[in-house]
Amino acid sequence: MLYIGHFSFDEISENSERHHGYFTCMVDTDNVDMSVELFQSLIKKMKVENSSFTDIAAVYVEDIFEIRKVPKTATILRMQSSAGEFPKSVSRTLPLIETEEITAYGWAPDVRKIQAAEKDKVMEMEPFLSFT
């Protein structure tokens, strides 16, 4: 069975600067308890081996989805809304993980902009859909 775990985390840098964020994991295993064990093992491994996890102080389970059958229609699994302007943040797909089982596709106009941009330059993303 496929399990998707969505987690939030608290981060404290060397200079005591605080951040928070989210990440998502998935695994194909026999039951939810095994998925929890595998998610914990992965997060502990990432804490030691991946610099993106170095400053993480605590991880929280937001939810774990058990997918018994992949639906044939598009399905929203999670939505989050935050107040105020979009904060300064970093977002990565499959951070530092290479796998033959998964391919990540970026929204082509945004990928081209990012590839052409100067390093560390803030890029405004092109809307996938706009209702205004």
Per-residue pLDDT for the chain (132 aa), expressed as one digit of tens each? Answer: 999 999 999 999 888 889 899 999 999 999 999 999 999 999 999 999 888 899 999 999 999 999 999 999 999 998 888 888 877 777 777 665 667 887 776 665 555 555 556 555 666 667 666 677
Sheet holding 18-28, edge to edge: 18-28, 2-12, 56-67
Q: What is the pLDDT of residue 103?
A: 73
Q: Which CATH architecture has domain 1-68?
A: Roll (3.10)
Task: Identify the three-state secondary structure at position 3.
Answer: strand
Ramachandran region, residue 11 (left: φ > 0; alpha: ψ -120 to 50; beta: rest): beta
Q: What is the pLDDT of residue 3?
A: 97
